[in-house]
Amino acid sequence: MSGAKPGRQLLRQEVVEGIKRYILQKRLRPGDPLPTEPALCEALGASRSSVREAVKILNALDIVEVRHGHGTYVGRLSLSALVESLTFRGLLSPGDDFQVLADLVDVRELVERGMADRIVTQLGPGQLDSLESLVADMREQGAGEGEARGFVEADRAFHALLVEPLGNELVEQLSMAFWDVFAIVAPHLDGFTHADETETVAAHQSIVDAARAGDVPAFMKSLGEHYAPVRRRIAEARARDAAQA
């Protein structure tokens, strides 16, 4: 399959950078409208086809959002493109697939352990009660057949709420991005099994108990105990995979 001509690729990238510069120079925020297509063509000195191609690229990166029938707006600037890229890497990795999972676990734990002191200090009574409620949801969802989706959703919400008090949007997005990639990739790898739900619930309860007590060392210990079984399952799956090779 032949690609676009080098000159066209260069022009398209120039228009992409031009739109990004326009957003920065005008100090636009997520949700703010961008000029119409003819106005962008005039401002950037580019053809309509080049602007359309650039907008498609930026839309895929969530830098702009195309609302059909309404126009083009500054996007949410989320990490959706990172999730897509890491997921694809995890599913297509020609080498050790399980290394991708191991790396994701390392990063997830690194974020939460690195912020442990601030998390414990800033979690308020209402947030602690909400974390406790999510653990109860996980316990209830794990008790019946066909409840895996609800269990997973409660697990995700738990880890999102854990870093929410930091007030750091980038940390929140990164934490959830790595959680999402792990959740998508893991079921596709032969030999990897999910944790015993009772063990997972107990680990989350220990995290809440330590946070409620204001005990940072216990909180960090609980995080380690939470991720240790995941690492063990990855190692076991990797060993089985190697033995079958």
pLDDT band at residue 231, thresholds of 50, 70 and 90?
Answer: confident
Token pair, residue 93, equals: 């990795």
Distance CA 62, CA 56 (A): 10
Distance CA 133, CA 140 (A): 10
- The total domain count for the chain is 2
Boundary of a domain, candidates 74, 95, 126: 74
Residues 91 and 177 in one domain: yes
pLDDT over threshold 60, residue 171: yes
Distance CA 198, CA 216 (A): 24
pLDDT band at residue 239, thresholds of 50, 70 and 90?
Answer: confident
Tens digits of residue pLDDT in 112-143: 999 999 999 999 999 999 999 999 999 888 65
Residues 223 and 208 in one domain: yes
Residues 185/216, Cβ–Cβ less than 8 Å: no
Residues 66 and 102 in one domain: no
Residues 6+ apart with CB under 8 A from 103: none
Boundary of a domain, candidates 47, 74, 101: 74
Residues 99 and 211 in one domain: yes
Residues 116 and 160 in one domain: yes
Of the listed ranges 70-74, 106-110, 134-138, 176-180, the one predicted with least confidence: 176-180
Instruction: Report if pTM > 0.75.
Output: no
> What domain range includes position 52?
6-74
Q: Confirm whether 143 is domain-assigned.
A: yes
Residues 61 and 99 in one domain: no
Residues 34 and 101 in one domain: no
Task: Give the pLDDT confidence score for residue 30 in this predicted structure.
Answer: 86
Closest of 183, 177, 192, 187 to residue 231, by C-alpha: 192
Distance CA 99, CA 177 (A): 17
Q: Confirm whether 118 is domain-assigned.
A: yes
Distance CA 8, CA 70 (A): 28
pLDDT band at residue 184, thresholds of 50, 70 and 90?
Answer: confident
Q: Confirm whether 1 is domain-assigned.
A: no
Distance CA 160, CA 90 (A): 22
Task: Give the pLDDT confidence score for residue 37 in this predicted structure.
Answer: 92
Boundary of a domain, candidates 28, 53, 74: 74
Tens digits of residue pLDDT in 19-48: 999 999 999 988 999 999 999 999 898 899
Residues 139 and 84 in one domain: yes
Tens digits of residue pLDDT in 48-90: 999 999 999 888 778 898 998 889 999 877 766 666 666 666 6
pLDDT band at residue 2, thresholds of 50, 70 and 90?
Answer: very low
Distance CA 136, CA 151 (A): 10
Residues 144 and 117 in one domain: yes
pLDDT over threshold 60, residue 1: no
Residues 73/33, Cβ–Cβ less than 8 Å: yes
Residues 48 and 146 in one domain: no
Q: Confirm whether 46 is domain-assigned.
A: yes
Query: The domain spanning residue 20 has which CATH number?
Result: 1.10.10.10
Q: Confirm whether 26 is domain-assigned.
A: yes
pLDDT over threshold 60, residue 146: no
Residues 169 and 65 in one domain: no
Residues 131/211, Cβ–Cβ less than 8 Å: yes
Residues 132 and 224 in one domain: yes
Task: State how far the alpha carbon of 1 is from the alpha carbons of 4, 7, 11, 85, in Å.
Answer: 10, 18, 21, 22
pLDDT over threshold 80, residue 244: no
